[in-house]
Structure 1
Amino acid sequence: MAASTEVKIYSKPKKVCKAVAREIRKMTEGSPRPRFDIALSGGNTPKKLFKNLAKKHKDNIPWEHIHFWWGDERCVTPTSDESNFKMANDFLFSHVPVPSKNIHRIKGENPPVEEAKRYAAEMNKNLNHRSEVPVFDLVLLGLGDDGHTASIFPDQLEIFEESRTCVATKHPLTGQNRITLTGKVLNNANRIFFMVTGENKSMRLAEIMNNEEAARLLPAYYIEPKNGSLIWFADEPAASKIT
């Protein structure tokens, strides 16, 4: 774990989401740039975050300046309940005044390899670059109970050495096609926030924090921004095994 990593622990998931929402408000309010690029995550905890942003921050975030992207997506239609886009649209975009042109979804209905190339080109065209790699102002990530993050799974660690910025992957158990940003672009972000809640995540989180030998098998261990900051927002059950 990088020395610059910060860990913030809260009593329950709702407080984790409140804290992240406040950070997003502060960053976007104070941004000197005319746009702010965020890569979103799927999962239950981000759903709570989206609800909080829509309810508590609808009127105090400059939505017209924020561009929304995704760290990964399942290869399903945008109307599928499995779609990360649909979740964000249902619980956030449909409740706040974000322009449709600011929403850059991964088109999960397209052939995976072709869509990965298209999305990489869209990032390349629209985002700022550092060392010729696209830069997100903020990347939101989750931690799977197998240690995966985005759609990079434990048997796919080579994605952290991948030269491309977006690739097609498969879930190792279900075989479901996924599209994910690679380690190259994730680790080039200005800020990365992990949101981790629930006791089922506690062993993996403890390994990442305290057991380097075990952590080396986990994709989330390799998230380490080269020119930015990393903050873990965890609830007490998820952090219960950290020493």
Structure 2
Amino acid sequence: MSVSPLVVVHRDAQVLAASVAARLVTRLVDAQAAHGTAHVVLTGGTVGTAVLAALAQSPARDAVSWPHVHVWWGDERYLPAGDPDRNETQARQVLLDSLPLPSDNVHPMAASDDPAGSDVDAAAERYADELARVARAEGTGRDAVPAFDVLLLGVGPDAHIASLFPEMAGVYETDRTVVGVHGSPKPPPQRVSLTLPAINRAQEVWLVAAGEEKATAIGLALSGAGPVQAPAGAVSGQRATVWLLDRPAATRVPPALIRVSSP
């Protein structure tokens, strides 16, 4: 099912981060009211981390029943545990370690020094197994991923999302939910990433981006470019696909697509 994207433009990156944090609280509370638990998929990068930092500072965060939230990642740099460049490390530092999250509800991708892993492809297989295990336990295993309530994605200046880069093998994947990435054009070269089939199983997908350097990629993705050229353009949530941008990042978005713009 294709969902027409909603484009929301905010004044600047700081307002964007605060707004996404507030929106995330509301979405998690609504999910918990509907079915008791909530599944969120985090993203890294400057904006993704800023959103988590804004959430950490928000009094509204206490409206969420954190013991009933499952935390996942859309991608990860295949680096040793605790490396400052890992998305998990950054998320724990700015938010997760301050929340009453059960350890079993936090699902990081394997680190490169994990004694149970051997390489990046094995790490991808293990994460796919973990997704399937939780999905089966919750009775949502038809597509081998849990019922993600909201999945956050950053957008690169080349229109990549997660660690799915234009013209690389990951964008062609149609069966697996997680892949190992080799030779990433952005360091480090090895990564683990959800695939488009897994991403597009989320109820809502939010693409969050700030900065003029992202504008061309966003315009390309919203113009109907295919996944090989612009992976961001192939994202579609089951219920909603929301682009959350600041003004510089939105300069190439056709005005007719912008539904909301803050003053």
Length-normalised TM-score, structure 1: 0.92
Indicate yes or no: 2:124 matched with 1:112.
no
Question: Which amino acid in structure 2 is aligned with residue 202 of structure 1?
Answer: A
Indicate yes or no: 2:217 matched with 1:196.
no
Once the 2 structures are TM-superposed, how far is the Cα of residue 132 of structure 1 from its aligned partner? 2.8
* Structure 1 stretch displaced more, 19-28 or 71-80: 19-28
- Provide the rounded CA distance (Å) in 1 between the counterparts of 2:3 and 2:36: 31
Q: Percent identity among equivalent residues?
A: 27
**Which of residues 220, 232, 240 in structure 2 aligns to 1:229?**
240
RMSD between superposed Cα atoms in Å = 1.9
Indicate yes or no: 2:183 matched with 1:180.
no
- Provide the rounded CA distance (Å) in 2 between the counterparts of 1:89 and 1:75: 17
**Which of residues 249, 252, 259 in structure 2 aligns to 1:238?**
249
Runs of 4+, deviation exceeding 6 Å: none
- Provide the rounded CA distance (Å) in 1 between the counterparts of 2:193 and 2:130: 14
Hey, what does 2:76 align to over in structure 1? 73
**Which of residues 41, 44, 48 in structure 1 aligns to 2:43?**
41
Within a 5 Å distance, the mapping from 1:1-243 to structure 2 comes to 4-31=4-31, 32-56=34-58, 57-109=60-112, 110=117, 111-127=119-135, 128=138, 129=140, 131-134=142-145, 135-156=147-168, 159-170=171-182, 171-172=184-185, 174=187, 176-210=189-223, 212-213=224-225, 217-225=229-237, 227-243=238-254
Ranges in structure 2 where 5+ consecutive residues have no aligned partner? 255-263
- Provide the rounded CA distance (Å) in 2 between the counterparts of 1:158 and 1:232: 22
- Provide the rounded CA distance (Å) in 2 between the counterparts of 1:179 and 1:215: 18
Once the 2 structures are TM-superposed, how far is the Cα of residue 224 of structure 1 from its aligned partner? 1.7
- Provide the rounded CA distance (Å) in 2 between the counterparts of 1:3 and 1:102: 29
Question: Which amino acid in structure 1 is aligned with residue 92 of structure 2?
Answer: N
- Provide the rounded CA distance (Å) in 2 between the counterparts of 1:71 and 1:49: 15
Once the 2 structures are TM-superposed, how far is the Cα of residue 162 of structure 1 from its aligned partner? 2.6
- Provide the rounded CA distance (Å) in 2 between the counterparts of 1:236 and 1:146: 18
- Provide the rounded CA distance (Å) in 2 between the counterparts of 1:87 and 1:182: 22
Count of aligned residue pairs for this structure pair: 240
Query: Using a 3 Å threshold, how does the CA distance of structure 1 residues 162 and 11 change in structure 2: closer, same or farther?
Result: same
Indicate the SS of the match to 1:231.
strand
Once the 2 structures are TM-superposed, how far is the Cα of residue 62 of structure 1 from its aligned partner? 1.4
What whole-Å deviation, never above 9, does each CA across 1:175-224 have from its counterpart, x for those lacking one?
611000111110111000010100100111111223x3587611111112
Length-normalised TM-score, structure 2: 0.85
Query: Using a 3 Å threshold, how does the CA distance of structure 1 residues 214 and 121 change in structure 2: closer, same or farther?
Result: closer
* Structure 1 stretch displaced more, 182-191 or 90-99: 90-99
Query: Using a 3 Å threshold, how does the CA distance of structure 1 residues 198 and 73 change in structure 2: closer, same or farther?
Result: same
Is the contact made by 1:207 and 1:214 (CA closer than 8 Å) also made in structure 2? no
Ranges in structure 1 where 5+ consecutive residues have no aligned partner? none
